[in-house]
Amino acid sequence: GQNIDQPTEMTATEGAIVQINCTYQTSGFNGLFWYQQHAGEAPTFLSYNVLDGLEEKGRFSSFLSRSKGYSYLLLKELQMKDSASYLCAVRVPAGGSYIPTFGRGTSLIVHP
């Protein structure tokens, strides 16, 4: 089976930096995704890593270590609007194709 672990909830202060970790044990790997989901809305794409290293996109960065089965999403200069759920997903082989499998998500609460 596939196992993707994330902390259930995190809190942080506006203006600070927060790191959300994701560890995975899957039968195969072909990329790791991070999505943001505000309450009552659909998930929206944040980042994609397929090779080891850091991908930076504005205030958000994502890191991957395939040998350790580990990724993190780094959010800098936190804003109140960053309060949301952050979903880690790993793309795994399935029936000749590749399908994303999601973790349970991390609820981030940003307070003033």
Considering only 23, 61, 76, 100, the residue that binds another protein (CB under 8 A) is 100
- Give the H or E element holding residue 65: strand 60-65
- Counting contacts by CB under 8 A, is residue 41 touching another protein? yes
Nearer to another protein, 12 or 87 (CB): 87
From the number of C-beta atoms within 10 Å of its C-beta (0-12, 13-18, 19+), residue 22 rates as: buried
Is 65 near another protein (CB under 8 A)?
A: no
Contact 103, 87 (CB under 8 A): yes
* Residues in 69-88 that interact with another protein by CB under 8 A: 87
Residue among 37, 109, 98, 35 nearest 71 (CA): 35
Task: Confirm or reject binding of residue 101 to another protein (CB under 8 A).
Answer: yes
Residues at the contact surface with another protein, assessed by CB under 8 A: 8, 30-31, 33, 41-45, 48, 87, 89, 91, 94-95, 97-105
